Chain A
Amino acid sequence: MSYYFTILSPTDTPIFNIAFGTSKGGGDGIARFRFPDTAQYMNQFIIHSSLDIVEEAQWTNGGMYLKHVDTYPPAAAYISAFLTPSGARFLLLHQPPQLPNSNTGSLGSSSLLGPGGSTTRASSSSIAANPTSPQTEEAVRQFMNEIYESFVKTAMSPFYKQGMEIRSPVFRTKVTAAGKKWL
């Protein structure tokens, strides 16, 4: 599973971006998206297009965590969203790895850990197996909540103005840690 996490300001400007991979089930925490390296703009296109749905879902869903809101079928990309009181939105794009039979080559690094063992473990771990399962929703919710706490603390910093890009290395570390912990 590969993740692309973005915080968008109320004007849709990204103020924080990070891409990471799963650390569960023997994953090495490196994002491997299905797009070729030259097409990484796809993540942003998909995130941006899902704002249509987020804008609709924020009126119909009572919680701050909107769960899985959108899917981009051609790349099997799933979007979960979280709203904050300041109007900033957390969007998480998650993409399950391609089926092992179709790309054994790109899984080469993880197969070093244990041939076959890593894939079975990954598939038994509920998060990687099914992006819309309740377990995944719950894990994403924990992740979002943890980031929300860090985000509030970062936003309270006297040197941070609303809508500014978040450059704090501490925040980045915390996001990475939360990703490692929950996803």
Chain B
Amino acid sequence: MTSPEDATPVKPPPSFSPGVARVPSISRYPDDPDSAHSIDAELAEYRSGSSPTPSLATTTELPIRSSSPHARSIRSSTPQLARSSLGSPFEGRFDGSEDIRSLIIRAFSPAVAVYASDDTDELVRNKGFKGGFWELIRPFGETVPGKVVIRDSVGSSRAWEDYGVRFMDLKGFGRTPAGRESGRESPLAQMEEILEQQLESSEGPLGTTIPSKDAQGLPIASPLWKILLRQILSTTSAAPHETFNHPVASVIAISSRNGSPLETLRQLYAESSSGEKRLPDWVHQEYLRYYVLVHDEERDDIAESTKLYDQMKRHFGLHCHLLRLRSSQCVVTDDDSVQVPICEWLSPQEHLSGVGEAETLVDLGTDGTPYLFDSDATAIRTFIRELIVQSVIPFMENRVAVWNDQVASRRRGISGRFMSVGRRFMTFGSGSRSGAAGASGGSGNYDSTNNSYSPDSPEAVLRKMADFAFMLRDWKLSASTYEMIQSDYKNDKAWKYHAGVNEMCAVSMLLNPLAASTKIKLESIDQMFENACYSYLTRCSDGPHALRSLTLAVELLKSRGGSATESAARWAMRVMDFGLVGPVGQILFTERVSTCYASKTPVSGARWGARRRKAGMWSIFAADQWLKAGKATQASACLEEAERLYADVLEVDGVFPMPEMQTFVDNLRHAVKVEYLGTRGFNTQDEPAPGELEATEETSEQLANVGKRAHRHSLIGLPAQLDAGSLNTTSGVRDPEDPPNDDFERA
């Protein structure tokens, strides 16, 4: 290992380099490229350095792969939502919250089941997709190209550019709930494991996770936080109490290789609706069937397929599609090869297996993602767009309208209220319809042995309608429906339903861009989240759902701005208090508390109203925890962030008025620095660490207000050991009052 003397001059990590960290915050905005790109500049310096250490040279060649999918998703999602929510009060405060909102909205996309015949799966398997047809189309479903126009319940239509669906394997659907019962806590543990893996992969000798900044130099959500958020949102599998993962439609696919196509289709339909592939009883069986004929371009005759397709259209109506694919496998070197997009929404379990798979392929120079012919990709995109725009969306709109008319409006009217009251006290009415009516005071539709409603009962239909409206992004309708059925669930003591409805009601209220301008009561939203997490945790001990609702609360309240950010921070503290996340998750939530406070902007024209001190404090705590976890890079980033936050409120940059705080921060800075350089292989023995620490302790005891500045010197002086250049900048900060102290501390 080279010692600092003979290597190129090494800039210390940003948080302790005086020149960067102590620039007053005003000059830290776009016209100051220095601070925003300090690490990049540092990296560039490294690469062009005359004698870089060998290990560094090799690692710089590796692209930082872990961050690439996010870059893609950011690019693809932000502008669209920003455009679609024109006129919302979120403009002008673009700190990545639109991005997070889009992520949350897309997390609740309609699910489409895929059930392909064996010959189709085999055809696709030849193309290199082991999971069959489902795996081939799955990544394409997450973003539908072009605008998707959705009409809401009052008839006004709105175009969305970031719409998507989630394809799910019908074969895997039935056994998911059973698997979940065995390891209930496992999703949370898996989430932690993924975070650790991501940390490891970004933790190479030079794998600095550069804190991404937007145009204003404010850090947007860290990539790790986004990973965690995405995991939290995709953890939950299909459950009776919410219908987001219940299939809205089912794609039934056959291929042109099939000998008896219509019989196969009929058989597949029968299997999925009454046979062994039938969905569990609590799933509404009435969903759209969509028939796809996969035509093999290379082996089969298109005339035959067209004839068959016409026949299909005659049998099954409009919900058909002819998908023309080439059956041979595509490799990178082919002329018109395109990379298959990476799946954005993987459950933690899939993520764990998927990441392992990608790692083994790194050596081969590929990403582990398969390739497709350009024509195939276009065909699939066209198919999915047609499926969604012409079949799925109209079907959902229609269902919402019908249920709204038949079930919800009856309930809303005066007689409906009377009915529900009557039912409650006299136990008659529609309760007799359900066979498993428990006469325990509830309405009778709730089956307390299975903890579910039958899908035909008005309670379940209303929930499904509200979920449909939510997925169609008609949050006004969904919020009012959720609110309406809330009390029913409470009376039936259907606690999981009750929790879910409270959660989604608050979420749709927060997502509704129209309600954002009108004053909605934050207390009522807080109360709903409170109910949701109490029911989830205490009554049902369902950790993943509780974590999801709390995280949604944090993110949506934060994006709302104003006084809601404080309640967002409070919910983040609740998550940590409940211990729902693992150690790395705890630190990420600590960071998030800091971001929540930091996003509270001061009253215009006044110095007060911001929460800079609180944000800085949480950032310091996060740095401390990162350091304890041995991640000096992250700790350093947090420290830098803390300095930036504190810059506005401290009289002199980096000097805290409180002596014990000062001591703690100074010790932390030093420890982070030692660790940071240590992980990069520098010999920290040369540094005056032990002596410095003693000096710190000594001086801290007799610290009065004045003594602090002198004390500050010792740490400002530290980087000078490594970088002679930075000494010049420090001398400007030096306090001319008491130079003799310097000698004392150096001794």
Interface of A toward B, CB cutoff 8 Å: 8, 11-14, 40-41, 43-52, 55-56, 59, 73-74, 165
Contacts and interface: CB of A to CB of B under 8 A. Distances in A.
A23 B131 CA distance: 70
17 contacts: A11-B651, A12-B657, A13-B657, A13-B705, A14-B659, A46-B617, A48-B656, A49-B616, A51-B613, A52-B608, A52-B610, A52-B611, A52-B613, A52-B649, A73-B570, A73-B573, A74-B577
A51 B616 CA distance: 12
Contact of B663 (A41, A46, A52): A41
Given A56-B609, A73-B570, A48 B660 contact: no
A14 B609 contact: no
A41 B577 contact: no
B421 interface: no
A52 B612 contact: yes
Interface in B615-670: 616-617, 620, 649, 651, 656-661, 663-664
A13 B709 CA distance: 13
A165 B704 contact: yes
Given A52-B611, A52-B613, A73-B577, A11 B660 contact: no
Interface string B218-234: 00000000000000000
Contacts of A55: 607-608
B151 interface: no
A49 B658 CA distance: 11
Contacts of B651: 11-12
A48 B617 contact: yes
A14 B612 contact: no
Given A59-B608, A73-B570, A165-B705, A49 B617 contact: yes
B576 interface: yes
Contacts of A13: 657, 705
Given A51-B613, A52-B612, A73-B573, 9 more contacts: A11-B657, A44-B658, A45-B617, A45-B658, A47-B658, A49-B616, A51-B649, A52-B614, A73-B570
B613 A48 contact: yes
Nearest to B646: A48
B705 A56 contact: no
Nearest to B616: A49
Nearest to A51: B613
B658 A14 contact: yes
Given A12-B651, A52-B613, A40 B660 contact: yes
A55 B664 CA distance: 25
Contacts of B611: 52
B705 A44 contact: no
Nearest to A15: B705
A14 B657 contact: yes
A41 B613 contact: no
A43 B661 CA distance: 9
Nearest to B667: A41
B573 A74 contact: yes
Nearest to B704: A165
A45 B668 CA distance: 14
Contacts of B659: 14, 44
Nearest to B705: A13
A35 to B, nearest CB: 12
Contacts of A47: 658
Nearest to B612: A52
Most buried by B among A48, A51, A73: A48
A56 to B, nearest CB: 5
Given A13-B705, A55-B608, A73-B570, A44 B614 contact: no
A73 to B, nearest CB: 5
B338 to A, nearest CB: 49
